[in-house]
Amino acid sequence: MKQYATFAGGCFWCMVKPFHKYDGVLSVVSGYTGGDIPNPSYELVCSETTGHREAVQIEFDDEVISYRELLDIFWRQIDPTDSGGQFFDRGESYQTAIFYHSADQQKEAEQSKLELEKSGKFTKSIATEILPAKSFYLAEEGHQDYYKKNPGHYKRYSVGSGRESFKSENWSE
């Protein structure tokens, strides 16, 4: 059955590629959610006045990939202890969050956060919020599938921001 998962993990450019490679993921789009202003633009969201966060919305087939598996992928893309943004992107629009679409998703998200907290993997508390899903607004076309459209810039950004080294140091198997 088709479902949606919505995650804010800092810059949405870096949050699309990790999900694309999994069977059962039907689509991954970049956008804005969490605020109350309808149809915000990138510039407006970056002004930190809308309450929106950069996020990705994933359409998935839960008979092929579970919400729990998507949560596990999400956690491995971020620094879950950073409450001020992600890597060198700072501010509310870059704060992490899991936006749940059902009571079951809320329960699974809270459980996965608790397990990560108890794992001792990080010395600081897990700062990622778990919030009810709000309207999701697609980002401008230039932001969709950025890693495919601008692979060189995407790689420089992902590495230069510190995201790749953090993932390698903290999430390598």
Which residues participate in catalysis according to the annotation? 11
Separation between Cα atoms, residue 52 and residue 12, nearest integer Å: 12
CA 128/CA 106 separation, integer angstroms: 13
Tokens read off for 27: 């689509």
Label the pairing between strands 97-100 and 2-8: antiparallel
| CA distances from residue 169 to 17, 41, 81 in whole angstroms, order as listed | 19, 34, 15
Nearest to 52 by CA among 39, 33, 30, 38: 33
Where does the chain have alpha helices with state H?
Answer: 13-20, 42-46, 67-75, 103-118, 146-149, 151-160, 163-171
Give, in order, the Cα–Cα distances in Å from 61 to each of 69, 72, 95, 129, 136.
Answer: 12, 16, 27, 25, 19
